[in-house]
Amino acid sequence: MKFQSLRGMQDIFQSDSKKWHQLRQAYQLVLNRYGIGEVQNPILENLNLFVRTVGDSSDIVNKELYSFQDRNGDFIALRPEGTAGFIRSIIEKKIEHESHKAYYAGPMFRYERPQKGRFRQFHQLGVEYVGFPEGDADLEIISIVADLLEELGISQKAVIHINHLGSSEVKQQYCNVLKEFLMDYKDSLSEIDQKRLESNPLRVLDSKDESAQDILALQEVPRYEEFLTEEHLQLLNDINDTFQERVDISIDHKLVRGLDYYTGLVFEVLSNELGAQDSFIGGGRYDNLILELGGKEQSAIGFAVGLDRLLTLFEPSNEDRKKIIFINLAGSNRHHAYKIASNIRALSKKVSVESILTDASLKSQLRKANKLGGDFALIIGDDEITSGNFIWKDLNEGTQEFVTLEQLTGKITHL
């Protein structure tokens, strides 16, 4: 019987790992500039944590959670996002009253229909700021996003959409007015949007259904910005003024985000190069979430990056590292040859020394060296060990020469 990976679960091999490695280096470089430290939370959490935080009206809870009952009878879920687990952890450690600048990265799980850029096991980078009220922290969060786009060389491919949901009271007031308006069109809405209308009318604004889009295009639709205060609108203008020269910013009052815990600033980063799944960064302020989960009242804002989608936009740089292929033809002295290879690996971080672990002929191993993309081959046999002169072959030029250990050291350090 042959086994296959589960639908929507992908294997990542060496060729892709190099691109992932450069992506991780890039975002860690940016986050280090801001003094943001890494946290690691479990992949498994209590099911009710996500019901409470994400919202029982959300698609994530209703259709996408991977959940099960364990042997102890507890209901468990694979995490669909990272904020809930992080907030749970700081409340559990009784440090939610402190300020935190944290990031995490790892796999998340949602039972979605797999398509380009969307997997059932996907990878996410999350950044969370806790203990910082609205204002400077919101500007810094957008600054981090702008820096990420620039560091990855994709600023020209992206647009940051921003909106403000106001206070909890403003959000509820707008929901009531929007629901009253949409009730006149309820029969024209899809079954899913009718359920959203009852549980959380804001979700209808996020609907991709054509009938909902037609209704929302009407002139008389209640406009969110009319419910916001001058301070709310000013924050959006401040963000736009601060970053518009670095990245494309769009104030989008129809943007509401898909998670129930958002209040205040919300934002998404879109790219038309991603097709239908065009959003790859999203976040916002969630000042009430910590209190709702049993902690102390505390301001908070954060965002998540869909790394799988980001990877399709990111063009990794060509590594400067030179590859040396080590071909060991020695017999009883093989360990001496390996000692030489081991020593030259330590000479420079700019080179890699890859061994061909086989007893094949020299001709066969040289073919393998070229297939591996080697720049040079170091060939050592019994005669070379005895004489102290080793064969150094330039695989690009096709030339070769004998070198002493001292000459070999010089070549390695100057590559």
pLDDT at res. 56: 56
3-state SS assignment for residue 249: strand
- 97-123 mean pLDDT: 91
Cα 229 to Cα 30, 37, 135, 236: the distances in Å are 33, 34, 14, 11
Tens digits of per-residue pLDDT, 15-41? 788 889 999 999 999 999 999 999 999
- Checking if the pLDDT of 210 tops 90, the result is no
Pairwise CA distance, residues 180 & 226, whole Å: 16
Q: Are 135 and 126 in contact (CB under 8 A)?
A: no
Residue ranges per structural domain of the chain: 14-166+228-313, 322-413
pLDDT above 90 covers what percent of the chain? 60
Cβ atoms 28, 20 nearer than 8 A = no
Ramachandran angles phi, psi of 102, nearest 5°: -135, 155
Span 133-148, mean pLDDT?
95
* pLDDT per residue as tens digits for the range 294-333: 999 999 999 999 999 999 998 887 667 889 999 999 988 8
Please give the average per-residue pLDDT across 150-166, as a whole number: 93
pLDDT-derived band at 44 (thresholds 50, 70, 90) equals very high
Torsion angle of C-alpha atoms 171, 174, 179, 184, degrees rounded to 10: -160
Strands 265-270 and 159-164: antiparallel
Count Cα atoms within 13 angstroms, Cβ side, for 304: 20
Are 179 and 197 in contact, with CB atoms under 8 Å apart?
A: yes
DSSP structure class, residue 316:
P
CATH class held by domain 322-413? alpha beta
pLDDT score, position 76? 95
| Residue 334 near residue 400, CB atoms below 8 Å | no
The pTM for the full model equals: 0.83
Q: What is the pLDDT of residue 168?
A: 82
For residue 154, how many other CB atoms are within 10 A of its CB? 19
Q: What are phi and psi of 172, to 5 degrees?
A: -70, -40
Residue 245 CB neighbour total at 10 angstroms = 7
Instruction: DSSP letter for 411, please.
Output: H
- Whether the Cβ atoms of residue 54 and residue 259 lie closer than 8 Å to each other: yes
User: What pLDDT, on the 0 to 100 scale, is given for residue 315?
Assistant: 84
User: Which regions of 320-375 does DSSP assign to beta strands (E)?
Assistant: 322-328, 351-355
pLDDT band at 267 (very low <50, low <70, confident <90, very high): very high
For residue 367, how far is the Cα from the chain centroid? 38
Q: Helix 47-54 to helix 83-92 angle, to the nearest 10 degrees?
A: 110
Q: Which residues contact 281 (CB under 8 A, 6 or more apart)?
A: 145, 148, 267, 268, 269, 303, 304, 305, 306, 310
Segment of 28-37, 55-64, 404-413 carrying the highest mean pLDDT: 28-37
DSSP 236: H
For residue 359, what are its two tokens?
């007893």
**Domain 14-166+228-313 top-level CATH class:** alpha beta
Predicted pLDDT of residue 223: 87
pLDDT for 122 beyond 90: yes
